[in-house]
Amino acid sequence: MSQSQAVNPFEVAQSQLDRLAKALGLPPEVTAVLREPTRLYEVNFPVRMDDGSIRVFQGWRVQYNDARGPCKGGIRFHPDETIHTVKALSAWMTWKCAVMDLPLGGGKGGVKVDPATLSQSEKERLCRAWIRQLWKNLGPRTDAPAPDVGTNAQMMVWMMDEYSHLAGAYTPGVITGKPVGAGGSLGRASATGFGVIVTVRETLKVLGINPGGATASVQGFGNVGQYSAKFFKDLLGGKVLCVSCWDRHDRKAYAYSKEDGIDVDFLQTITDAYGTIDKEQAQAAGYHVEDGDAWIDKDVSVLIPAALENAITSESARRIRPSVKVLAEAANGPTVPEAEPVLAEKGIYVIPDFLCNAGGVTCSYFEQVQNDMNFYWSEPEVQQKLDQKMTTAFYAVHEMAHEKEVDTRLAAYMVAVQRVVDAMRMRGWI
């Protein structure tokens, strides 16, 4: 956690944009518009606890850019949440929606809270209170939140229900990531992890690596980490040798590994709702337990950071083994700018975060479409459409990188930011 706090993620996001703006030759006034969010809301709101006391929570919603459509982005409940994190994530959401060619802009929300310390009824009151503060600034054609770190499908349906009460009409499209049966889409829970592995599959193809013989190490065992590990085996036929996760009881991270590959299904049965693996049960099942940062030292072909931002520094990047050919950024902003030259020197193919983990927002878009139609697709249909979208986006970035002779992150920015700038120009904003 200390590493995450040491780096301002919004400054990272801005430095990435500045590099892109120079490469694209954007006018200074256009860059100035893109460097800051269009709208930012900060709220401080009371919630009654189960013991009758009142707690005041701090939260934010950032609507970064809506030139291409309504803002889209998750809401995080995390004890170390800051406005800097939310602003950075809203910027990355803008580029993520654009690189996927979705008719959406970028937004993000956050509340400074550890949801693990709240009862179920306290979580519900918190969700409803957050919506009451911001509902006039949200909507299917304005800004539609979704789940993120510390939030889940149940919380989303509470938020949707509260919004519907306030708006006076059932409005499922205002929130995505809802449970199936309450306006949610089949395949949504696994969508981000599925999309991560689709991009890994295509990367291994262009590198000439047999997916069935590939191995991986995953940082984080929340929703994205779990499904990334699962689909690495089920979709590619590869092996995941190590996963790491934050242990909320010991307040530190551990890495769990097995030489013949981890059993994702088993580990899921001993993992709580916040991504903490039961250490004693894992050890009893023969897993080797190490410090949490050991995941990056593994002799594998693919590294998948799927936890919080700023996980890969220049120092940790130097520890990456020569066997590693692909870094799939399943997390948002896992690599600090200083680590980029180290990765380039090692010849590692980086799948940038806002392409790699865009499966979630793409399926959220599918959910909004289904909400509008009031007609819902089967899970195979959702995955087929998602596979097609992720594959098309991957090759748009890969081909841009080759055409312009730039790295993949810069290529992804070129594709995404140019689409946003084009929309702003067509709308007469610039």
What CATH number corresponds to the domain at position 247?
3.40.50.720
Looking at the structure, do residues 53 and 84 belong to the same domain, yes or no?
yes
Residue 260, in any domain of the structure: yes
CA distance linking residue 86 with residue 326, whole number of Å: 27
Taking 70 as the threshold, does the pLDDT of residue 175 lie above it?
Answer: yes
Residue 71, in any domain of the structure: yes
pLDDT average, residue stretch 314-327: 97
Kindly give the pairing relationship between strand 302-305 and strand 71-78: unpaired
Of 232, 251, 234, the closest CA to residue 243 belongs to: 232
Looking at the structure, do residues 141 and 246 belong to the same domain, yes or no?
no
pLDDT digits (tens, 9 = 90+) for 98-148: 999 999 999 999 999 999 999 999 999 999 999 999 999 999 999 999 998
Taking 90 as the threshold, does the pLDDT of residue 5 lie above it?
Answer: no
Mean pLDDT rounded to a whole number for the chain: 95
pLDDT average, residue stretch 266-290: 93
Looking at the structure, do residues 264 and 152 belong to the same domain, yes or no?
no
Taking 80 as the threshold, does the pLDDT of residue 4 lie above it?
Answer: no
Q: What is the pLDDT of residue 2?
A: 39
Looking at the structure, do residues 73 and 140 belong to the same domain, yes or no?
yes
Of 296, 329, 267, the closest CA to residue 95 belongs to: 329
Looking at the structure, do residues 205 and 164 belong to the same domain, yes or no?
no
| Number of Cα atoms under 13 Å in the Cβ half of residue 143 | 26
Taking 80 as the threshold, does the pLDDT of residue 200 lie above it?
Answer: yes
From 356, 375, 404, the end of a domain falls on: 356
Q: How many CB atoms lie within 10 A of CB 71?
A: 31
Taking 90 as the threshold, does the pLDDT of residue 341 lie above it?
Answer: yes
The DSSP string of 353-403 is HHHHTTHHHHHHHHHHHHHHHT----HHHHHHHHHHHHHHHHHHHHHHHHH
Q: What is the pLDDT of residue 6?
A: 63
Looking at the structure, do residues 115 and 158 belong to the same domain, yes or no?
yes
Residue 26, in any domain of the structure: no
Kindly give the pairing relationship between strand 302-305 and strand 326-328: parallel
Lookup result for tokens 């959702």: 382
Residues 235-246 as b/e (b if ≥16 CB within 10 A, e otherwise) read: bbebbbbbbbbb
Residue 219, in any domain of the structure: yes
Instruction: Report how many domains make up the chain.
Output: 2
Query: Which domain range does residue 114 map to?
Result: 39-172
Looking at the structure, do residues 312 and 262 belong to the same domain, yes or no?
yes
Structure tokens, 16: 């990435």
Looking at the structure, do residues 247 and 351 belong to the same domain, yes or no?
yes
Kindly give the pairing relationship between strand 252-257 and strand 288-291: antiparallel
pLDDT average, residue stretch 246-275: 92
Using a pLDDT cut of 70, give the percent of the chain over it: 99
Looking at the structure, do residues 128 and 234 belong to the same domain, yes or no?
no
From 356, 385, 406, the end of a domain falls on: 356
CA distance linking residue 165 with residue 153, whole number of Å: 18
Q: Which of 72, 87, 96, 108 is catalytic?
A: 108
* CATH assignment at residue 62: 3.40.50.10860
Looking at the structure, do residues 285 and 337 belong to the same domain, yes or no?
yes
CA distance linking residue 4 with residue 295, whole number of Å: 17
Residue 4, in any domain of the structure: no
9-24 and 83-99 helices, crossing angle to 10° = 40
Looking at the structure, do residues 352 and 238 belong to the same domain, yes or no?
yes
pLDDT average, residue stretch 396-421: 95
pLDDT digits (tens, 9 = 90+) for 10-37: 998 899 899 889 989 999 999 999 999 9
Taking 80 as the threshold, does the pLDDT of residue 276 lie above it?
Answer: yes
pLDDT average, residue stretch 140-169: 96
From 356, 377, 409, the end of a domain falls on: 356
Question: What CA–CA distances, in Å, run from 335 to 7, 9, 98, 348, 409?
Answer: 11, 10, 21, 13, 11
AA identity, residue 38: T
Looking at the structure, do residues 344 and 231 belong to the same domain, yes or no?
yes
Active site residue 205: no
pLDDT average, residue stretch 147-165: 95
Residue 407, in any domain of the structure: no
Residue 369, in any domain of the structure: no
Residues in CB range of 241: below 8 A, 6 or more apart? 215, 216, 217, 257, 258, 259, 261, 262, 298, 300
3-class secondary structure, 70: coil
- What is the pTM (predicted TM-score) of this model? 0.89
pLDDT digits (tens, 9 = 90+) for 356-377: 999 999 999 999 999 999 999 9
If pLDDT is split at 50, 70 and 90, which confidence band does 274 have?
A: confident
Residue 20, in any domain of the structure: no
Tally of residues, the chain? 430
